[in-house]
């Protein structure tokens, strides 16, 4: 009898939708050629089919080798390996059913022992992987099972149900992000809206021509990144300053901020006075705040204890210099100290040095958004949002590479919160997410999202994960440490793109976030090639092993390359002068 080249073995046992297959011992090759194409048998993540009358059942291989044996045989095999008798074993989970040219996820019927198992040809795979809507699907690479077949994602599901890209350093996460975002950006959508939080400044080159870049110290053709401090919630603003205040003094600060915001709110007009809090995104002069609080600590009084002493030197809120008063006398002689002073000069001093630190200019002196001493600004938040989203490109990259690392978490959290709040409160307008969805890409999410940490970034990401769908805000979370990510956030991701990963704890977290049936596949994660991933969830018709395209303009690696740089001649050591001067001046110029 002529051997049917697609036939590879038979069903040995079935349990739920997990099927054990015994490969034919006379199977001629591991890499049979069918119609001129070489197939690899037994690759984890590839498909097999079981013809059942008019339908074909399809399964995804999750295990190969001895461990794929049925439990009962495995025991016997361990005692006497010769019982394998030249057979090999595969385990697969049933994923779908094909009738004619239509493929459906899920199976209605079950195979039985003895049913024949065949490899899946490119012809079959075209049916399995087909069925994407052209308008809403993006091509991101090839199926590992067959390089001639495109790997696609359903963009709508990807965006509305959130997605996570997980993998070790160097596994190809940034490349994958760039491919996904580029594929979206290349669609002819005039109002696509993608916002990338780019902690290492990696994406500007690979998305050139499709994005607007916002960066501290913008180059030509880029925009300066501004995050006005006054848009931050009170607690987050205070967290920027070194040192901590007692609860009582924090309330005192809060009261003063509120007073200044109320004055500005009245000037802005059209706002309900009762709605204004210290958290309201309303401009106020932080220099004036500092000056008033500092003055209150320093002021001294004449003998009547109510008339202030004359100033020795007048300070300047714009320059952040203090008013100077005659020094208080000891005991009962004038000048008298201000008995109501709060004892917060130390904190105010730290606050002053932050306000003067040039690396915080994007926050405290954002060009166009920096309040005058009376709290008025040239531009307001609507202008900020129109610079971020009204530039005509589908992608806005907020490059945070120049932001001091100690406030990176707070700043990325605040940016997310500012944007989410704007979309939330604009939900009934044309710029709300329901009318113009927003896709937020968070690269290196572990840098600002630690499980169990009560930070503004974790709180905001949790809110977006849980509620974003309702308001048209989708998220693409990228991280190399899934185990450090909040589990509720990961569990809200409708699709998981799992690249190579070796750490056992991380693999555990990834497999628990994947569909139940795929958990056995966690082991294959450590052997994936660079750029290769197991993609599962709502954005794919069927879980697949995929090789991402490589981006034309490689994602810029942020690491200095020692072997290349050390090959350059020694720089003049006198340049350390510049380094120290910059340090003392707190400035890079």
Task: Decide if residue 174 touches ligand ADP (CB under 6 A).
Answer: yes
Which of 129, 120, 151, 142 is closest to 41 using CA atoms? 120
Give the residue with the Cβ less far from ligand ADP, 210 or 302.
210
Of 144, 171, 264, 460, the one binding ligand ADP by CB under 6 A: 171
Phi, psi of 146 (to 5 degrees): -155, 110
Task: Decide if residue 228 touches ligand ADP (CB under 6 A).
Answer: no
Phi, psi of 201 (to 5 degrees): 60, 45
Q: Would you say 497 and 163 are in contact if contact means Cβ atoms under 8 Å apart?
A: yes
Task: Decide if residue 174 touches Mg ion (CB under 5 A).
Answer: yes
Of 136, 249, 358, 550, the one binding ligand ADP by CB under 6 A: 550
Task: Decide if residue 208 touches ligand ADP (CB under 6 A).
Answer: no
Of 118, 161, 162, 173, the one binding ligand ADP by CB under 6 A: 173
Local structure of 224: helix, strand or coil? strand
Smallest distance, Mg ion to C-beta of residue 196, A: 12
Give the residue with the Cβ less far from ligand ADP, 144 or 264.
144
Residues 6+ apart with CB under 8 A from 403: 216, 359, 362, 411
State the number of binding residues for ligand ADP (CB under 6 A). Answer: 14
Task: For residue 583, give both structure tokens.
Answer: 């340090």
Q: Are strands 532-537 and 544-548 parallel, antiparallel or unpaired?
A: antiparallel
Partner that binds at residue 554, options Mg ion, ligand ADP, none, CB closer than 5 to 8 Å by kind:
ligand ADP
Which of 540, 549, 547, 532 is closest to 514 using CA atoms? 540
| Cα gap 120→521, rounded to integer Å | 19
Give the residue with the Cβ less far from ligand ADP, 295 or 550.
550
Partner that binds at residue 163, options Mg ion, ligand ADP, none, CB closer than 5 to 8 Å by kind:
none
Which range binds ligand ADP by CB under 6 A, 241-249, 369-377, 516-524, 547-555?
A: 547-555
| Cα gap 471→21, rounded to integer Å | 46
Which of 24, 137, 31, 175 is closest to 85 using CA atoms? 24
Which range binds ligand ADP by CB under 6 A, 168-176, 210-218, 321-329, 577-585?
A: 168-176
| Cα gap 146→151, rounded to integer Å | 10
Task: Decide if residue 372 touches ligand ADP (CB under 6 A).
Answer: no
Give the residue with the Cβ less far from ligand ADP, 22 or 173.
173
Which of 96, 172, 118 is closest to 141 using CA atoms? 172
Task: Decide if residue 147 touches ligand ADP (CB under 6 A).
Answer: no
Torsion of CA 68, 71, 76, 77, to 10 degrees: 10
Smallest distance, Mg ion to C-beta of residue 175, A: 8
Task: Decide if residue 63 touches Mg ion (CB under 5 A).
Answer: no
Task: For residue 359, give both structure tokens.
Answer: 């690396």
| Cα gap 263→40, rounded to integer Å | 72
Which range binds ligand ADP by CB under 6 A, 21-29, 80-88, 169-177, 217-225?
A: 169-177
> Which position's Cβ is nearest Mg ion?
174
Angstrom CA distances, 227 to 230, 398, 400, stand at 9, 10, 11
| Cα gap 263→267, rounded to integer Å | 6
Task: Decide if residue 530 touches ligand ADP (CB under 6 A).
Answer: yes
Task: Decide if residue 266 touches ligand ADP (CB under 6 A).
Answer: no
Give the residue with the Cβ less far from ligand ADP, 144 or 288.
144
**Neighbouring C-beta atoms of residue 428, cutoff 10 Å:** 8
Which of 557, 549, 556, 517 is closest to 536 using CA atoms? 517
Task: Decide if residue 169 touches ligand ADP (CB under 6 A).
Answer: yes
Of 144, 146, 175, 280, the one binding ligand ADP by CB under 6 A: 175
Phi, psi of 396 (to 5 degrees): -110, 125
Give the residue with the Cβ less far from ligand ADP, 294 or 532.
532
Partner that binds at residue 530, options ligand ADP, Mg ion, none, CB closer than 5 to 8 Å by kind:
ligand ADP
Smallest distance, ligand ADP to C-beta of residue 462, A: 24
| Cα gap 499→180, rounded to integer Å | 14
Of 45, 167, 472, 474, the one binding ligand ADP by CB under 6 A: 167
Which range binds Mg ion by CB under 5 A, 77-85, 166-174, 218-226, 459-467?
A: 166-174
Per-state percent for the chain, helix, strand, coil, to nearest 5? 35, 20, 45
Give the per-residue contact string, 555-574, with ligand ADP (x = CB under 6 A; - = no): x-------------------
| Cα gap 278→287, rounded to integer Å | 16
Task: Decide if residue 534 touches ligand ADP (CB under 6 A).
Answer: no
**Site residues (vs ligand ADP, CB under 6 A):** 167, 169-175, 530-531, 548, 550, 554-555
Give the interface with Mg ion as residue ranges (CB under 5 A). Answer: 173-174
């Amino acid at each position: 009898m002529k051997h049917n080249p697609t036939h590879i073995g038979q069903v040995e046992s079935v349990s739920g939708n997990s099927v054990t297959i015994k490969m034919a011992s006379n199977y001629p090759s591991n890499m049979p050629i069918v119609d001129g194409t070489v197939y690899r048998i037994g690759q984890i993540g590839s498909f097999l089919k079981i013809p059942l009358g008019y339908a074909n059942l399809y399964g995804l291989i999750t295990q190969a080798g001895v461990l794929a044996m049925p439990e009962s045989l495995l025991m016997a095999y361990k005692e006497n390996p010769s019982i394998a008798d030249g057979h090999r074993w595969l385990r697969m989970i049933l994923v779908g059913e094909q009738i004619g040219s239509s493929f459906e996820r899920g199976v209605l019927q079950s195979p039985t022992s003895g049913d024949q198992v065949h490899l899946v040809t490119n012809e079959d795979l075209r049916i399995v992987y087909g069925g994407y809507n052209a308008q809403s699907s993006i091509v991101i690479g090839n199926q590992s099972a067959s390089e001639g077949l495109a790997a696609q994602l359903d963009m709508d599901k990807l965006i509305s149900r959130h997605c996570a890209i997980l993998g070790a350093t160097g596994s190809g996460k940034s490349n994958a992000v760039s491919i996904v975002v580029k594929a979206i950006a290349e669609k002819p959508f005039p109002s696509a809206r993608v916002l990338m939080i780019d902690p290492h400044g990696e994406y500007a080159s690979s998305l050139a021509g499709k994005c607007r870049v916002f960066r501290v110290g913008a180059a030509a053709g880029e925009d300066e990144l501004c995050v006005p401090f006054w848009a931050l919630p009170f607690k987050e603003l205070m967290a920027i300053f070194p040192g901590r205040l007692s609860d009582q003094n924090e309330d005192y600060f809060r009261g003063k901020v509120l007073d200044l915001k109320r004055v500005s709110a009245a000037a802005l007009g059209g706002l309900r006075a009762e709605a204004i809090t210290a958290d309201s995104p309303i401009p106020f002069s932080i220099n004036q705040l500092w000056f008033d609080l500092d003055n209150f600590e320093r002021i001294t009084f004449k003998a009547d204890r109510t008339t202030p002493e004359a100033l020795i030197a007048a300070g300047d809120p714009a320059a952040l210099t203090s008013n100077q008063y005659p020094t208080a006398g000891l005991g009962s002689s004038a000048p008298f100290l201000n008995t109501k002073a709060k004892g917060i000069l130390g904190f105010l001093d730290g606050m002053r040095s932050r306000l003067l630190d040039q690396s915080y200019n994007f926050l405290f002196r954002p060009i166009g958004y920096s309040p005058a001493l009376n709290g008025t600004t040239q531009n307001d938040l609507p202008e900020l949002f129109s610079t971020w989203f009204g530039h005509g490109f589908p992608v806005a990259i907020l490059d945070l590479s120049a932001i001091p690392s100690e406030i990176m978490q707070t700043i990325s959290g605040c940016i997310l919160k500012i944007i989410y709040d704007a979309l939330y409160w604009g939900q009934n307008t044309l710029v709300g997410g329901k009318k113009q969805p927003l896709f937020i890409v968070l690269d290196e999410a572990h840098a600002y999202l630690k499980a169990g940490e009560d930070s503004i970034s974790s709180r905001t990401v949790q809110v977006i994960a849980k509620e974003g769908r309702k308001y048209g805000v989708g998220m693409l979370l990228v991280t190399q440490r899934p185990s450090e990510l909040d589990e509720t956030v990961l569990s809200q991701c409708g699709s998981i793109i799992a690249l190579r990963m070796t750490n056992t704890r991380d693999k555990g977290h990834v497999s628990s976030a994947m569909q139940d049936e795929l958990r056995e596949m966690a082991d294959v994660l450590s052997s994936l090639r660079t750029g290769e991933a197991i993609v599962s969830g709502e954005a794919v018709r069927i879980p697949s092993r995929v090789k991402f395209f490589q981006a034309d303009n490689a994602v810029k690696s942020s690491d200095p390359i020692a072997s290349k740089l050390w090959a350059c001649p020694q720089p003049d050591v006198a340049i350390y002068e510049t380094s120290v001067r910059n340090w003392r001046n707190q400035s890079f110029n």
